[in-house]
Amino acid sequence: MSAAGNIARAAESIREGKLVAFPTETVYGLGADAANAPAIARLYEAKGRPFFNPLIATVGDIAAAMKIARFDATATRLAKAFWPGPLTLVLPKARDCAVADLATAGLDTIAVRVPAHPVACAILRAFGGPVVAPSANLSGHVSPTTAAHVQSDLAGRIDLIVDGGAVTVGVESTIVGCFDAPMLLRPGGLPRDEIERVLGRQLARPPEDTDNGAGQPLAPGMLASHYAPRTPVRLNAERIESGEALLAFGPASLAGVGKASAVLNLSARGDLAEAAANLFSYLRALDGKGARTIAVMPVPHHGLGEAINDRLRRAAMGRE
Ligand code: TXA
Ligand code: MG
């Protein structure tokens, strides 16, 4: 289904409790009415996602976000600087928050974001309330950056896919927890240094075990192997062995490159934004090539490289 003219149908389907995939600037999301608990239960089921892993609520603007979450000065500053955009804020839930407890996995915090994609914005505007939008993939798979990826993971499990072409950012939103000290819970499509520049301070790191001491995970979805292809992934490859597929970055002049069974280059000119946009679709493509291993060249760690390396590290941990 193409985007033009189908916005109204998407909004109407969400109103009826259906599951609708649509593009955001980061990755495709799987939308459901955030206030409709049965719809959210079906969404968890369609993704094969554990109930303890809460969802992001997407809204059309800051005013709508303020109805479901409590903003302090830091949160307000970040929202004004970066929304709409690839930033998710984890905030205390507002007292009369309409979002179903199932969506927030019973936490007293909520993850909120205002996406910057014309299709997502139009659907949110037409629907008029918060829409939960986790990435539209089976739980544990890499996130979808095209409608075809959504189709291959979720066909038959969801009601509608709105095709808005390939996304532009390619990795999920950056998640910042607005706790006493603002904390980077997930590196993503908004580089850390841009956030730190606005805050005038560094973002705290989550504790290693991502447990807040009350037995609840700070970022429950950041399971070690959350982004795993089926083929084993080998990082920081300096040479290629036969039977390996190569995920390259920059000039691919490493030893044994001729032995690679398949090669895709995230960005031959070494551009991190281009690499982020290609990451998930190239991982999916190489995963389908029957290679023994996907060998990945090193990617610099600055800017969007932090998010790219985070997803690659998780991909390399393999399936649980
Ligand atoms: O770019 C994105 O954020 C995409 C697009 C579709 O919006 N969505 C996305 O959703 O990546 P998902 O469900 O794949 O990842 C949401 C992450 C999970 O790791 C989840 O654990 C975390 O957000 N999360 C949600 N609510 C939370 C909360 N209250 N506290 C901490 N982490 C939370
Ligand atoms: Mg996801």
Mutate to test the pocket of ligand 1, among 59, 104, 135, 141 (most ligand atoms within 8 A of CB): 135
> Residue 140's pLDDT band (boundaries 50, 70, 90)?
confident
- Global pTM value: 0.91
Q: Which atom of ligand 1 is nearest to the CA of 53?
A: 21
> Residue 212's pLDDT band (boundaries 50, 70, 90)?
very low
Which helix (H) or strand (E) segment holds residue 160: the answer is strand 160-161
CB 296 within 8 A of CB 210: no
Residues 87, 175: Cα–Cα separation, whole Å: 6
The whole-number pLDDT of residue 1 equals: 57
Q: Mean pLDDT throughout 143-162?
A: 97
Matching residue, tokens 């956030």: 195
Burial bucket for residue 10 (CB in 10 Å: 0-12, 13-18, 19+): buried
**What would the two tokens of residue 183 be?**
């904390």
CB 225 within 8 A of CB 320: yes
Per-residue pLDDT for 217 more than 60?
no
Asked if the peptide bond before residue 144 counts as cis, ω within 30 degrees of 0, the response is: no
The whole-number pLDDT of residue 319 equals: 52
Per-residue pLDDT for 211 more than 50?
no
Beta carbon of 187 within 6 Å of any ligand 1 atom = no
| Residues whose beta carbons lie less than 5 angstroms from ion ligand 2 | 135
Mutate to test the pocket of ligand 1, among 88, 179, 216 (most ligand atoms within 8 A of CB): 88
Residues 69, 112: Cα–Cα separation, whole Å: 8
Strand pairing report for 244-248 and 293-296: parallel
Residue with CA nearest ligand 1 atom 17: 221
Beta carbon of 111 within 6 Å of any ligand 1 atom = yes
**What would the two tokens of residue 46 be?**
């369609």
Q: What is the pLDDT of residues 168-189, one digit of tens each?
A: 999 999 999 998 899 999 999 9
> Residue 158's pLDDT band (boundaries 50, 70, 90)?
very high
Residues 234, 247: Cα–Cα separation, whole Å: 10
Q: Which atom of ligand 1 is nearest to the CA of 137?
A: 14
Q: Which atom of ligand 1 is nearest to the CA of 169?
A: 1
> Residue 318's pLDDT band (boundaries 50, 70, 90)?
low
Q: Mean pLDDT throughout 220-234?
A: 73
Residues 237, 293: Cα–Cα separation, whole Å: 11
CA-nearest of 135, 83, 70 to 114 is 83
Q: Which atom of ligand 1 is nearest to the CA of 49?
A: 13
Residues 139, 126: Cα–Cα separation, whole Å: 28
Cα 115 to chain centroid distance, Å, stands at: 12
Beta carbon of 137 within 6 Å of any ligand 1 atom = no
Residue with CA nearest ligand 1 atom 15: 134
Q: Which atom of ligand 1 is nearest to the CA of 175?
A: 23
Sequence-ordered strand ranges (E) for 172-292? 174-178, 182-186, 233-234, 244-248, 262-265
